[in-house]
Amino acid sequence: MSPGIEQLFFGIAAVVATVSSMLVVTRRNPIYSAMFLIVMFAAVSVIFMLLDATFLGFMQLLVYAGAIMVLYLFVIMLINPREGDLPEESGATEKSFAAGVSLLIFSMLSFAISHSNEVERLSALGSIPLLPEVSDSHGTIRAFGLELFHNHLLVFELTSILILVGIIGAVHLASRRKNNVPHNLTNAAEGVVSQDV
């Protein structure tokens, strides 16, 4: 793939990711948020592939867009919130406060990126500091798998345990038990208040 096309694809993917991420956090209906999130995942997957992480790009699509987001959609369908169930969103003050914090974080991160030695070194190399040359097999399942199961086996096993724990936890929490009677939130809250010292 020629550098020009790479640039183009990256530009499109970056713009799509940026825009859809912003839409994710601003849509009122969670269904829309979920849809835009899928779009963002896809864009990120494209970026991964551009970075020669072919296998990971597919994984991103499979796991995130395929599995996790399906889970989200299932839950949304399960609880099926009507318009009235959706929580009233925050006021302008809170939103602006949140925006302030996130902007601050972004500016600090940008500051860090622009002032880091690494970036300085790379920009000193030339106008377009491209990625280093790697073998053709970089990022393929074979190379990735060999390294994963040779050098990072323990981490891999630990991750599998983590997922196992996640499964058990999810099953346990979501299983419908008899004593799970719906409560009135305000009553329950009052009950707690009355126990107050």
Partner 1 sequence: MDINLLWIPLLPFLGFLINGMLGSRLGTRSVNAIACGLPILSFGLSYAAWSRLLSEGTELHWNGFPWIWIEGLVEIPFALHFDAIAAVMCMVITGVGSLIHLYSIGYMKGDPGYHRYFAYLNLFTAFMLILVLGDNLLLMFIGWEGVGLCSYLLIGFWYEEDANCAAGKKAFIMNRVGDFAFLLGIFLCLAHFGSLDMSTLTDSEMIKTLSAETLTVPLLGSVSVISMIVLLLFIGATGKSAQIPLYVWLPDAMAGPTPVSALIHAATMVTSGVYLCCRLMPLFEAAPAILTVIAGIGACTALLAALIALGQNDIKKVLAYSTVSQLGYMFFAIGVGAFSAAFFHVVTHAFFKALLFLGSGSVIHAMHHEQDMRKMGGLRKQLPFTHLTFLIGTLAIAGVPPLAGFFSKDEILFAGYQQGFLEGVDSAALFWGVSFVTAGMTAFYMIRCVALTFWGESRVDSSLEGKVREPGGWIGFALFMLAIASILGGFLNVPEFLGGHATLGHFTGLHHASNLPEEVVHAAEWKSMFLSLAVAGCGLLLAFYCYGKGHALRKAFTNSGPGKVLGRLSVRKFYVDEFYAAVFVRPLETISHLLFILFDRILIDGILVTGTALMTRSVGNWFRKMQTGFIPGYLLTFGCGVLLLIYMMLSLIQQGGAQ
Partner 2 sequence: MFSLPTLLYLSAFLFSVGIYGVLARRNILVVLMSLELMLNAVNIALVSFGRVHALTAFSGEHGGQIFTLMVLAVAAAEASIGLSLLLVIWRRWRSIDLRQLCQLNG
- Using CB under 8 A, which residues numbered 57 to 96 contact partner 1? 90, 94
Q: Are 155 and 163 in contact (CB under 8 A)?
A: no
* Whole-number Å distance between alpha carbons of 22 and 102: 12
Name the strand (E) or helix (H) holding 148.
helix 141-151
Output 116 or 151, the one with its CB closest to partner 1: 116
In the list 2, 77, 79, 154, the residue contacting partner 2 (rule: CB under 8 A) is: 79
Residues touching partner 1, count (CB under 8 A): 16
CB of 126 to partner 2, least distance (A): 10
Q: Binds 132, which of partner 1, partner 2, none (CB < 5 to 8 A, cut-off by type)?
A: partner 2
Least separation, in Å, of the C-beta of 85 and partner 2? 7
Q: Does 68 bind partner 2 (CB under 8 A)?
A: yes
Of the candidate residues 105, 122, 141, 164, the single one contacting partner 1 (CB under 8 A): 105
Total number of residues that touch partner 2 (CB under 8 A): 101
Instruction: Choose the one of partner 1, partner 2, none that binds residue 5, judging by a C-beta under 5 to 8 angstroms depending on kind.
Output: none
What's the CA angle centered on 46, arms 41 and 51, to 5 degrees? Answer: 120
What is the residue-wise DSSP string for 162-180?
HHHHHHHHHHHHHS--TT-
- Collapse the DSSP code of 75 into the 3-class scheme (helix H, G, I; strand E, B; otherwise coil) and give the result: helix
Among 111, 142, 147, 170, binds partner 1 (CB under 8 A): 111
Per CB under 8 A, 60 contacts partner 2? yes
Instruction: Tell me the two tokens of residue 121.
Output: 């070194």
Backbone angles phi, psi at 84, to 5 degrees: -70, -25
Q: For residue 42, what are the contacts with CB-CB under 8 A and spacing of at least 6?
A: 16, 61, 65
User: Residue 102 or 159: which CB sits closer to partner 1?
Assistant: 102
CB closer to partner 1 out of 92 and 197: 197
Give the Cβ contact number of residue 47 at 10 Å: 18
Q: Measure the CA–CA gap between 46 and 6, rounded to whole angstroms.
A: 10
| Interaction site with partner 1 (CB under 8 A) | 90, 94, 97-98, 101-102, 104-105, 108-109, 111-112, 115-117, 197
